[in-house]
Amino acid sequence: MASPAGRSRTKRKRLARALEESEARYRDLFESAYDVVFTADGDGKILDINQRGIEVTGYAKAELTGMNVVRDLCVPEDQTLIRSVLEDVVAGRERIYEVGWRARNGTVLRFEGATTSRRAPSGAPAAG
């Protein structure tokens, strides 16, 4: 019969494995999406972006990660709109909008965007 400590270790290992599998499924979905999918902080700094975002913008992932959506990608005429979208996301409101981003080669890409804010179990906005 396993000791309480042994059962606890086994349970922790099982939970860790389940978490790893869940993270792998999320990463696969994120990376294989046909749409541009990214996460950003409340100021618009890109924290992560999928392969499709890299392909359509022409930037490397290392370049995109850390760029500010408003300042670095959004066309000037849409910057006010994107600032209001960011405010809504931080406030927990979802938005659907159209925006232009400038690709590395100067081409303007038009996107229909849909945003949602991630929430912690407490209901507060989740970091990152």
- On the question of pLDDT at 55 being above 90, the answer is yes
pLDDT of residue 122: 72
- What distance lies between CA 102 and its chain's CA centroid? 19
Q: What is the largest CA-CA distance in the chain?
A: 69
Does the pLDDT at position 65 exceed 60? yes
Model pTM score = 0.76
Q: What sign does the dihedral 58-60-65-71 (CA atoms) show? A: negative
Any residues with CB less than 8 A from the CB of 114 and at least 6 apart, and which? 94, 95, 96
How far is the C-alpha of 55 from the C-alpha of 38, rounded, in Å? 13
Of the pLDDT bands very low, low, confident and very high (cuts 50, 70, 90), residue 1 is low
